[in-house]
A = this chain, B = another copy of it.
Amino acid sequence: MSSLCQNLLMSLAEPTRLHSDDPAASIEAVRGMIEARLAAIVPSAQTWPVRLHEAQRHALLSPGKRFRPLLTVFIAKGCGVSAEAELSAAIDVGCVSEMVHAASLILDDLPCMDDAALRRNQPTTHIAFDESTAILTATALLNRAFGVLARLPQVSPVARVEMIDLLSYAVGSKGLIAGQMADLANTDHSASIAEIERLNMLKTGALFEFAIEAAAILGKASSAQRAALKDFSHHLGLAFQLLDDLKDTLMNDDDAGKTTDRDIGKATILALAGSQAAQDRLLGYIDSAKDALSRAELIGGAMLEAVLDRQFAFVNHK
């Protein structure tokens, strides 16, 4: 680990810094550590086969909010994780969510799926490279995510296999992939709000569940805390997907930094209930998420509220 990264970890380990009056600075410090770790996990762009690693770095290291890793780190911290080595593991677990997220975006953007050309203000991976490279890059990122979990420093093998099992569940037939399959076939406008929520839970909620539950494992959370955090992740997943749908409809490509209007013709809450009702519902999800979070009684809960407010600034400013 670089000495810069080590210094940041040590300052993060001091409660005074983390619970300082400047949550934004704390969030930025952690985000910087996540960026540094992501850049270190993936082979350099000079490593053979060069094109594969250039594409991985293109997809993974393009500027992002790193919302899932931030959740993992601050929830682990909120559960009492404070030793340097344990925080380092929380950052790695955060990176795992980000790698899986990046992999899912590469695939979602393919011509045979959402056929999107822009993502995070840059060409999507199959546009910047080509389709076969994009598909192999996504596969490589998912594959490496499991490798990172298998090697988590200072985490017991029992906890590691628990997290690997969780990730496989979150990605698989009852998670991300099932959600993407269903989303591709989602043109049934007789679907109910409950059915769309179920789809959104798979498509988006499953990876939040992993990011949050893995943090609870790292933080050895009590069963009451884990139950509250599960409820938190449920509402957070719904909120996040609805926010994404709102952005797709209400923002243009430049402001969203990605190809928008991909939802046209799809059964979304927005399409069913209209923009105002969808925004009201989003605020309701966020309130429920915050309620659940407060029930988890984490240390420094205000930090997590700041992470949420930062992510949902689009709604707050509307």
- State the A residues within 8 Å of B (CB): 43, 47-49, 51-53, 107, 110, 112-113, 130-133, 135-136, 138-140, 142-144, 146-147, 149-151, 156-158, 160-162, 164-165, 167-169, 171-173, 177-178, 180-182, 184-185
Contact = CB atoms under 8 A, between A and B. Distances in A.
A106 B156 CA distance: 35
Contact of A135 (B52, B110, B156): B110
A164 B110 CA distance: 29
A52 B178 contact: yes
Contacts of A143: 142, 168, 171-172, 177
A265 to B, nearest CB: 16
A161 B150 CA distance: 5
A165 B147 contact: yes
A180 to B, nearest CB: 6
A146 B164 contact: yes
Classify the interface of chain A: helix, strand, loop or mixed. helix
Given A140-B171, A143-B171, 17 more contacts: A47-B173, A48-B178, A51-B181, A51-B185, A52-B173, A107-B136, A110-B132, A133-B181, A139-B177, A140-B172, A140-B177, A147-B169, A147-B172, A150-B162, A150-B164, A151-B161, A164-B164
A278 to B, nearest CB: 25
A133 B113 CA distance: 9
A102 to B, nearest CB: 13
A139 B136 contact: no
A253 to B, nearest CB: 23
A71 to B, nearest CB: 22
17 contacts: A49-B182, A52-B177, A107-B139, A112-B132, A113-B132, A133-B181, A135-B135, A139-B177, A142-B142, A143-B168, A144-B168, A146-B146, A146-B168, A150-B161, A150-B164, A157-B160, A160-B161
Given A107-B135, A139-B138, A49 B164 contact: no
A248 to B, nearest CB: 19
Given A48-B178, A147-B165, A172-B144, A184 B132 contact: yes
A139 B142 contact: yes
Contacts of A177: 52, 136, 139-140, 143
A210 B48 CA distance: 21
Contacts of A185: 49, 51
Contacts of A161: 150-151, 157, 160-161, 164
A142 B139 CA distance: 8
Nearest to A131: B112
Contacts of A133: 181
Nearest to A103: B139
Nearest to A145: B168
Given A146-B146, A158-B157, A43 B184 contact: no
